[in-house]
Amino acid sequence: MSLEKEISKRRTFAIISHPDAGKTTLTEKFLLFGGAIVTAGAVKSNKIRKAATSDFMEIEKQRGISVATSVMGFDYNGMRVNILDTPGHKDFAEDTYRTLTAVDSVILVVDCIKGVEEQTEKLMSVCRMRNTPVIIFINKLDREGKDPFDLLDELQEKLQIHVRPLTWPIGGGSSFQGVYNLYQKELNIFEPNKTGISENKAKIVDLADEKMTEFIGKMETEKLRDDVHLIEDLFEPFNEELYRDGLIAPVFFGSAINNFGIQELLETFLKIAPPPSSRECIERTVDAREPKFSGFVFKIHANLDPNHRDRIAFLKICSGKFERNKFYWHTRLNKKIRFSNPTSFMANEKTLIEEAYPGDVIGLYDNSVFKIGDTLSEGESLHFKGIPSFSPEIFKELENRDPFKTKQLEKGIQQLTEEGVAQLFTQQPGNRKIVGTVGELQFDVIKFRLEHEYGAKCDFRPLNYKNAYWVTGNTPAALQHFLRDRASLIAFDKEDRPVYLSESDWMLNMIKQSFSEIQFHSTSEFSETKVGLVKS
Ligand code: G4P
């Protein structure tokens, strides 16, 4: 099959949500439709449960299990579907943000009772950074939830994106009868069904059709007709191009646990979601159809078995064809490497692959040669954009508890931060090490792994910072002045870029007013034009 055909049949996406909205359930139902699993409950083990927050080893074990299910691929109606899994636990949100750099689109699950939640907003803001196309699935319609029009308002307001319903619920909670598909002009009758994959469809092209009342009763028929008129008044017809540009999000309603609205979500998704296209590099834009292979590492997962220190690097293929045992160029290390055991992931199975195409994610056994963001190519020096670090939310100073193991501690923290477990900032004088994470849990994980994998003992001293901002200046002199003046709040990230550690929004605003020639960036990726990255 030609490269172009391989690309056009691939859809690589992530299902994301605030914990408990139904991401795992929806993923599982997609896998059932795709025939990748045969029983419900198969991907449940992938979920990091709330009850386990204090038991981080259990969480690590579950993360171990999740390596196998990190990418779930299956074929459906001639298409190749790659679902990139993201951890449900909020302390691993950074893993999720990074995974979003590797997808071509996203399905965002929202609980109809709770509406837009904290994590929903954060995830959406990450999608907005790259204009990732988003489909919204409003879940749990079998339960009494918010009014659907209110939900649409809430989505537009809190997620800052235009929405367009493509299906519409008839009743809700105990009186939930089904959805009307505004896109296909089809009525879907709800029948609770937790295990099978059947859906009862009634082809009713014209809403004025009297047969409608036979299915949903007179009152609901009238309400549906009124609602649909209102929707047509309020919303422009669905525009696929605006969706693909990340400017409008189509909205579907359903009940994942009851398998309701899932098949039409999947099928519409496959029709409208974009295949892999082009991707920006610092040097140029890389088109997926270019014959030469290129790809980047967006995630690294450590092997939990202490006897096998190797890690798995997850590589997203951006252009051309990847082949096993062929030499590729590692841009950062400036050397050729070949891979004899690249793997692909099919639900719970890892399989050796001979070749892979744009949109695919492959696992490469890694003996510490990779960092997140590394690029492989056929010789060209490329640096893919859009793989930034985000500001951590919790900061602690790393304290060495065993001076005889300083080297081990340094190596360990270096490697763990390269894996993306946390971010490391260094402060001068004294080489003070500040570790930043999005959740408390990571500190337990780091401490445990430093001790068990590197033989180093450490403590973490809490620091009072709220956010880290990458700073640039209008001129190198302005930046130098700022870095010297505020030295006690400046640290350097792993690439030696200066960050300002902010204690509060109030302080940040004061500083912004005092230093008008300095720019503060909440991610590590920003326009390079004003960067004066000179270490003081
Ligand atoms: P997450 O991955 O987003 O965290 O959510 P998950 O799918 O695990 O779903 C969270 C809870 O919501 C689960 O219940 C799940 O069964 C339930 N759920 C998912 N979809 C629906 C739906 O359409 N309707 C209703 N009523 N519930 C739904 P749980 O009790 O936490 O777990 P479990 O014991 O069912 O596994």
- Do 364 and 263 have their domain in common? no
Same domain assignment for residues 455 and 362:
no
Q: Which residues contact 404 (CB under 8 A, 6 or more apart)?
A: none
Exposure pattern of 51-61 as b/e (b: 16+ CB <10 Å)?
ebbeebeebbe
Write the CA distances from 96 to 21, 127, 215, 421, integer angstroms: 16, 11, 42, 12
CA nearest neighbour of 1 among 73, 74, 78: 78
At 307 the pLDDT is 59
pLDDT computed for residue 265 by the predictor:
92
Tell me, yes or no, whether 105 and 133 share the same domain. yes
Let me know whether 314 and 178 are in one domain: no
Domain with 39, as residue range(s), is 3-275
Q: Which two tokens stand for residue 23?
A: 């991401």
Residue 191 shares a structural domain with residue 300 = no
Q: In this structure, is residue 107 part of a structural domain?
A: yes
What is the full per-residue pLDDT of the chain (536 aa) written as tens digits? 799 999 999 999 999 999 889 988 898 888 888 876 655 555 554 443 433 333 445 555 555 445 445 788 888 989 999 998 887 667 777 778 888 989 999 999 999 999 999 889 988 988 988 899 999 999 999 999 999 999 999 999 999 999 999 999 988 888 888 888 888 888 877 776 555 545 555 666 677 778 778 878 888 889 999 999 999 999 989 999 999 999 999 999 999 998 888 888 998 999 999 999 999 898 999 999 999 999 999 988 876 555 566 678 899 999 999 999 999 999 999 999 999 989 886 545 668 889 999 999 998 988 778 988 899 999 999 988 877 788 889 999 999 999 898 999 999 998 888 888 889 999 988 889 999 998 888 898 889 889 988 899 999 999 999 999 999 999 999 999 999 999 999 999 988 999 999 999 999 999 999 999 999 998 887 644 333 333 33
* Domain closes at, from 275, 293, 310: 275
Element housing 376 (H / E): strand 375-377
Q: For residue 475, what is the domain's CATH number? A: 3.30.70.3280
Q: How far apart are CA 470 and CA 523, in angstroms?
A: 7
Rounded CA-CA distance 33/197 in Å is 7
Ligand 1 centre and the CA of 500: distance in Å? 40
Judgement on whether residues 429 and 358 belong to the same structural domain of the protein: no
Give yes or no for residue 25 CB within 6 A of ligand 1: yes
Residues 434 and 479 in one domain: yes
Is 20 close to ligand 1, i.e. is its CB under 6 Å away? yes
Residues 296 and 229 in one domain: no
Considering the domain architecture, whether residues 461 and 312 belong to the same structural domain is answered as: no
Looking at the domain assignment, is residue 532 inside a domain?
Answer: no
465 is written with which tokens? 């910072």
For ligand 1, atom 31: residue with the closest CA: 20
How far from each other are the two terminal CA atoms of the chain, in whole angstroms?
A: 54
CB atoms < 10 A from the CB of 1, how many?
A: 7
Nearest to 106 by CA among 69, 140, 83, 133: 133
Whether 526 maps to a domain, the answer reads: no
Whether residue 384 lies inside any domain: the answer is no
531 in any annotated domain: no
In short, whether 24's Cβ falls inside 6 Å of ligand 1 is yes
CB 49 near ligand 1, within 6 Å = no
- Where helices occur in 171-274 by DSSP H, the ranges are 211-216, 218-234, 240-244, 262-272
Flag whether 389 is in a domain. Answer: no
Residue 343 is assigned to a structural domain of this protein: yes
Helix, strand, coil in percent for the chain, rounding step 5: 30, 30, 40
Q: Tell me the two tokens of residue 65.
A: 């299990």
Q: Answer whether residue 318 is part of any domain.
A: yes
Same domain for 110 and 227? yes
Of 231, 253, 275, the last residue of a domain is 275
Closest CA to 124 of 146, 140, 100: 100
At residue 446, what are phi and psi to the nearest 5 degrees?
-65, -45
State the pLDDT at residue 300.
85
pLDDT number for residue 203:
64
- What is the reported pTM? 0.84
C-beta of residue 246 within 8 angstroms of C-beta of residue 104: no
Q: How far is CA 102 from CA 44, 82, 232, 357, 384, in A?
A: 23, 11, 35, 14, 11
CA-to-CA separations, 206 to 66, 217, 474, in angstroms, rounded: 46, 16, 61
Q: Which of 17, 20, 106, 141 to mutate to test the pocket of ligand 1 (most atoms within 8 A of CB)?
A: 20
CA distances from 20 to 98, 119, 427 (A): 21, 11, 39
Nearest alpha carbon to residue 256 among 4, 28, 439: 28
Cα–Cα distance measured from residue 464 to residue 447, given in angstroms and rounded to the nearest whole number:
20
CATH number at residue 249: 3.40.50.300
CA distances from 534 to 349, 391, 424, 476, 492 (A): 47, 21, 18, 8, 11
Spacing, Cα 13 to ligand 1 middle (Å): 21
If asked whether residues 284 and 260 sit together in one domain, one would say no
- The last residue of one of the domains, among 224, 244, 275, is 275
* Cα distance between residue 277 and residue 134, in whole Å: 16
Considering the domain architecture, whether residues 106 and 251 belong to the same structural domain is answered as yes
- Looking at the 3D structure of the chain, how many domains does it have? 3
11 Cβ closer than 6 Å to some ligand 1 atom: no
CA 139 to ligand 1 centroid distance, Å? 10
Evaluate whether 148 touches 253 at the Cβ level (below 8 Å).
yes
Q: Which atom of ligand 1 is nearest to the CA of 109?
A: 3
Classify residue 108 by its DSSP letter. E
Residue 457 Cβ inside 6 Å of ligand 1? The answer reads no
